[in-house]
Copies of this chain bind each other. A is one copy, B any other.
């Protein structure tokens, strides 16, 4: 089509979850089907970009210098759950199963893709441990090679003079899922993570 159209389609295709066809569909929707929506979307993008930023402490979405969770005095500040991305944090919050605080790494170590410790939001986490703020770390990083490497790096670099209890979240069968439908990696984790019963 036109160069401007293709540039927009290219930009949309880079968003998570969108492919070539869905980007085309959205671009046509905004340009031809419902053109009144395009300025509304641009305004919402710009307003959000101006209002929202990373929390200086934990890397979560924030409106001021601290995010809503870091600012909430009722949360247990000593227990910190380490996640890869903000949507992971959002999912844990939705479960209601955690009342501590978070630290978002914004990625995981991946030497192949050129992601080293400097590319992650990792040094501020070590700084939080060094300051004595954290007594327990729960590593909620994924069950893959990069997640493993990130957990390993993190525990290796914890300040030796600080006592921090460290654990990794459990891996196994999801609730409602049968053994029949589980993949090999999940089954291996479920067997390795078995617990005494009775």
A146 to B38, CA, bound (A): 27
| Any B CB within 8 A of the CB of A130 | no
Q: Which residues of B contact A7 (CB under 8 A)?
A: 44, 47-48
A87 engages B24 (CB within 8 Å): yes
Nearest CB of B to A110, in Å:
15
A residues within 8 Å of B by Cβ?
Answer: 1-5, 7-8, 10-12, 14-18, 22, 24-33, 35, 37-42, 44-54, 59-61, 63, 68, 85-87, 90, 104, 106
Cα–Cα, bound, A87→B28 (Å)? 7
> Is B26 within 8 A of A17, CB to CB?
yes
Q: Are B45 and A32 in contact (CB under 8 A)?
A: no
Contact A11:B41 (CB < 8 A) given known A26-B16, A27-B48, A28-B85: yes
Of the candidates B12, B86, B106, the one whose C-beta lies within 8 Å of that of A41 is B12
Known contacts A1-B52, A17-B25; can you find 7 more A-B pairs with CB under 8 A? A4-B63, A8-B45, A8-B48, A16-B26, A30-B45, A32-B52, A41-B45
With a CB–CB cut-off of 8 A, which chain B residues contact A40?
Answer: 11
| Residues on the B chain within 8 Å of A87, using CB | 24-25, 28
- A sample of 22 inter-chain contacts (CB < 8 A) reads A2-B52, A3-B51, A4-B44, A4-B47, A4-B50, A5-B61, A7-B47, A8-B44, A8-B48, A15-B29, A16-B29, A17-B25, A17-B26, A28-B86, A28-B87, A30-B48, A31-B53, A31-B61, A35-B53, A42-B42, A42-B45, A42-B46
**CB < 8 Å neighbour of A4 from B35, B48, B54, B86:** B48
Residues on the B chain within 8 Å of A106, using CB: 32-33
Whole-angstrom distance between the alpha carbons of A37 and B135 in the complex?
A: 36
